[in-house]
Structure 1
Amino acid sequence: MLKWTIEILVDKIWIIDGFNPTDEQIQNCIESLLPFSTDGEVVAKITKRPSKKKIKQLQG
């Protein structure tokens, strides 16, 4: 398999509104770009995310 690294920058208003994707949600997003892929052909995961403390602070 070949590796792509994707960086997503999100304005804090989206964090305040609840944006905090899981690995499963990211996997589903990538799979939607490759609708004919089969299990194991595409793997997506979050390797770095904001701290839980920062997310909680923004979300109140």
Structure 2
Amino acid sequence: CWALMALLFVGGVMNVLWIAAIAILILLEKTVPTGRALPRISGAVMVAIGVWLLAGAG
């Protein structure tokens, strides 16, 4: 959770839409009764995007 809060701060300095998107993700992870599925899926998506950006596709 602390990492997402850090992203909220960094994203908030750059763009209000990023704050809203990350806050909605946190809200969904805390309230939707999917167990550990949603956090694992969102984490995998973030890792995949990071690898894609490091590979030079961004």
Larger of the two Rg values belongs to structure: 1
TM (norm. structure 1) is 0.27
Q: Which has the higher helix share?
A: 2
TM (norm. structure 2) is 0.27
Higher RCO (CA-CA < 8 Å; seq separation 6+): 1
